[in-house]
Structure 1
Amino acid sequence: MVTVPGQNGATAVPFAPPTIRRFLIVAGALLLAAMPARAQLVGHGGMVKGLAVSADGTRAASAGFDYSVMLWDPKAAAALALMHGHEAAVNAVAFTPDGSRVVSGGDDGKVILWRLGQGAPERVMAGHKGRVAAVAVAPDGRTAASAAWDRTVRLWDLESGAQLAELTEHAGNVNAVAFTPDGARLVSAGEDGTVRLWNRSDGREIKVLGGGLPVNALALTPDGRRAVAGGIDGAVRIWDLDAGTETAGPVVGDPAPVLAVAVSADGSTGAVSGVTGGIALWSIDDGRVLHTLAGHRGPVWALAFEPDGKRLLTAGGDGAIRLWDTAAGLEIRTGAAKLAASDVPRGEQGERGAELFRRCSACHTVTPDGGNRAGPTLYGVFGRRIGTVPGYPYSPALRDGNIVWTAETVGDLFKRGPDVVTPGTKMPVQTIGNDAEREELIRWLEKVTAPR
């Protein structure tokens, strides 16, 4: 069982029953609330579980515990789109080779295909009877693979949405999946400690490697000959897929369970991260650790190199996506996260309420044309019943709620916390203990969100 340190000494288990996963959402949101404003890409309302970068490096996609998929311009450090379609936390994302579409998988057991520029899912593929932990797209862009906690790997036709195959040999939850570069084979890994090699055309299992402690993460070298696997024992193991032999990976000095691994497109550099927030960059050839990266608070769930290998994107429990210079081993700064002037009516930016709203602005807008983000727009919120903004995918608890937002109910939300006032919410747990500051925020919100 994997334990994750949380604030105030709390612990959580990333691979655990739904009740524990709900705790993780709250713990991750607490970290987000405490996060400094300097994070690079902030928009998810909680943990970020998956990352992918398009083949040309112009786009990145992220999967969040707030049920959303976000699209980013990593060079400009700007959010481009927020996509809702999952009915539970999203765990994984992958681009199609041409970069025009994204595949995602979530706790709702669904695999969703998104076309960039369209807000609604292009195709929803259902069949898994457990959370989808990982997704991959074949090099020809025609087939997607999904690994799930129902102990299966499934193959999907992206044009029709039809299930092509169900691979059932794993003896536990499947946590990772990848196609070989030629697209002919598939590699998966999971709780049973094995790395399995499959024939894509007929779903036949070719080889079983390992069989020890659970494997949480998997990446292939660009030549498709080796699989890099990270497990709960904190070790990184490298498997020769043809010979079936194992070589030791880097000694990163952190015994904590591995949550993510990645390999650069040229095959020279690997990255590994774990539950304590540490990240290591290492040389694939000799296992030498090149840099250790520190900046995240809490577990780092996702890693993705840009195509040229010069930058690494990382994300995790603090809700932030950070960018790193891989040669220097330093975080790339593009300036502190700020409340955009376009999010606030002209003349309102200098007020204390606006300052307090900054940590909310990643998820909510307040202007007539702001629209929904990770959370619904707050424009016109006072006097509105909970769960009624058109087009926003509320959790069932909020859709069925009867709270009407007033100065009193909003004040109660920020005093006691959304997890208490609106149980089942996706909203990060943010509270304001200072009565005067809470009143300043509410007074400001009443003014700027009033319909006009």
Structure 2
Amino acid sequence: MPSLKRLHAAGLGLAGLLLGAAPGAAELAGHGGFVKGVAVSPDGRRIMTASFDYTLILWDLAAQTRLGDFDEHEGAVNAVAFLPDGGQAVSGSDDGTLRLWDVARGGVLHTFKGHRGKVAAVAVSPDGRLAASAGWDRTVRLWNLERRTAGAVLEGHDNNVNSVAFSPDGTKLLSGSYDATLKLWRVADGTPIRTLTGHDFGVNSVAFTPDGRRAVSVGVDETLHVWSLESGEEIASLVGHEGPIFGVAVSPDGRFAASGGLDRTVLLWNLESGHFIRAFYGHDAPIWSLAFTPDGRRLLSAGSDEVVRVWDLERGEEIGTSGERRISLPLAVLPDGPGAKLFARCVVCHTVTPDGRNKAGPTLYGLFGRRAGSVAGYRYSEGLKQSGVVWNEKTIDALFREGPAAYTPGSKMPLQHMPDARERAELIAYLKRVTGPAE
């Protein structure tokens, strides 16, 4: 590892490769919202993706086909991890829970509750006995997957915890937080070993190297940091992204790290030399999560464009995509006025065209005159289905004036409050124009 503290990708004089999908690459209809997490099964044959649309999807990696859906969470799903046997997986969600899944049958085996806020990340121990979760209640929590019980609560971070990872031998745990620190913990008793400082702002993602001696972390400071866990010192900081970095992964042989973030670019780094190797372009929106396949030959990246991309690291090209690219606004909702610009906040969750599908929220086509909780194929809470609300100018105005938590209890709608009466009127006028007649 070089002694230089900051190594810049641009300074190496290497041009990034602009990579498109290979001929005949699959583009499969998948998530209806940001893809926040991706995990590869231990045998490398399947992947699971976690999304803002409250669901997880299981995919066949070779065939790039969809195998099953998992939709029991009551909030955005932020992370997923397979157990070592590949037959079970754990996910974490904005609903504050972890869920243990039977991957083959698709059912929930257990729901773990304890966090007082969203679960931002999950990890599974190498022996499959424990799960760890990072929460926005500033805690890291351990869970016994065999007994299906809660374990230790690890406290010490001063802000939301965004990431967590087990060491390769399962004896240590590493967490990263918005407080700009990483903490190394003993799994056996939940006690802290040391705190790593060096990030200028919040830490978004952490990962161990396979030998357990080093770690990498990324965050808001646009830098990939490499750490010695024996000394607690920063070995190098790698600079190349043009914006906050949200995800990082280390290859199975420990030679490479991949990072992705707000700039929509995946950067591949050589951890032995500290050199930038290659840039992968193709995502249309920020990248949240990355994962290498067990053989180290492929890299998966998941982003806000609702797509998981699969990259061939030997040939330097994209193999294909899982998911359908739907982040661009349909013609009917192009921003041509103040109401359209306000609706742009909602386009990730809702469609408005006759052929639009349900996404994280139900389609809004035919909204006016429709009873709340009545769109076919969308899973509503019982409270919303029985609310008796019929959508019209008055009720939509009340929804945004009071906020969904107050006006439609049980709604999955993210907090959206518009105190400005003029803005509400502009949004309602726009919705009346583009959503068509009630059916």
TM-score interval for Structure 1 and Structure 2 normalised by the shorter chain: 0.7 to 0.9
How far is the alpha carbon of 1:273 from its aligned partner?
A: 0.6
Which of 213, 236, 239 aligns to 1:225? It is: 213
Q: 1:153 to 1:324 in 2, by over 3 A?
A: same
Which of 227, 250, 253 aligns to 1:239? It is: 227
Q: Secondary structure at the match of 1:332?
A: strand
Aligned to 2:169: 182
Distance between the aligned counterparts of 1:158 and 1:101, measured in 2? 10
Q: 1:245 to 1:72 in 2, by over 3 A?
A: same
Distance between the aligned counterparts of 2:251 and 2:207, measured in 1? 10
TM-score under structure 2 length normalisation: 0.72
The share of aligned pairs that are identical, in percent, is 47
1:314 aligns with 2:301: yes
Q: 1:77 to 1:395 in 2, by over 3 A?
A: farther
Aligned to 1:194: 181
Q: 1:357 to 1:331 in 2, by over 3 A?
A: farther
How far is the alpha carbon of 1:425 from its aligned partner?
A: 6.3
Which of 272, 279, 285 aligns to 1:285? It is: 272
Q: 1:402 to 1:332 in 2, by over 3 A?
A: farther
Distance between the aligned counterparts of 1:396 and 1:79, measured in 2? 29
1:328 aligns with 2:315: yes
- The 5-angstrom pairing of residues 436-451 of structure 1 reads none
User: Is the contact between residue 192 and residue 212 of structure 1 (CA under 8 Å) also seen in structure 2?
Assistant: no
Q: 1:86 to 1:275 in 2, by over 3 A?
A: same
Which of 302, 308, 324 aligns to 2:289? It is: 302
The residue type paired with residue 243 of structure 1 is S
Aligned to 1:143: 130
Q: How many residues align?
A: 362
- The 5-angstrom pairing of residues 17-416 of structure 1 reads 40-210=27-197, 212-213=199-200, 214-252=202-240, 254-333=241-320, 360=356, 387=373, 393-394=379-380, 399-400=385-386, 402=388
The residue type paired with residue 151 of structure 1 is R
User: Is the contact between residue 84 and residue 393 of structure 1 (CA under 8 Å) also seen in structure 2?
Assistant: no
Mark the runs of 5 or more structure 1 residues left unpaired by the alignment: 1-36, 339-355, 365-373, 378-382, 413-418, 428-432, 447-452
Aligned to 2:19: none
Distance between the aligned counterparts of 2:93 and 2:183, measured in 1? 22
Distance between the aligned counterparts of 2:253 and 2:389, measured in 1? 54
How far is the alpha carbon of 1:245 from its aligned partner?
A: 1.8
Q: 1:334 to 1:206 in 2, by over 3 A?
A: closer
1:213-243 superposed Cα distances (whole Å, 9 cap, x missing partner): 3111111111111110002110110111112
Distance between the aligned counterparts of 2:382 and 2:209, measured in 1? 42
User: Is the contact between residue 42 and residue 321 of structure 1 (CA under 8 Å) also seen in structure 2?
Assistant: no
Distance between the aligned counterparts of 2:56 and 2:136, measured in 1? 20
Distance between the aligned counterparts of 2:148 and 2:64, measured in 1? 33
Q: Which runs of 4+ in 1 moved over 4 A?
A: 334-338, 374-377, 383-386, 388-392, 395-398, 400-405, 422-427
Aligned to 1:17: none
The residue type paired with residue 56 of structure 1 is D
The residue type paired with residue 293 of structure 1 is F
CA root-mean-square deviation: 3.7
The residue type paired with residue 196 of structure 1 is K
Q: Secondary structure at the match of 1:118?
A: coil
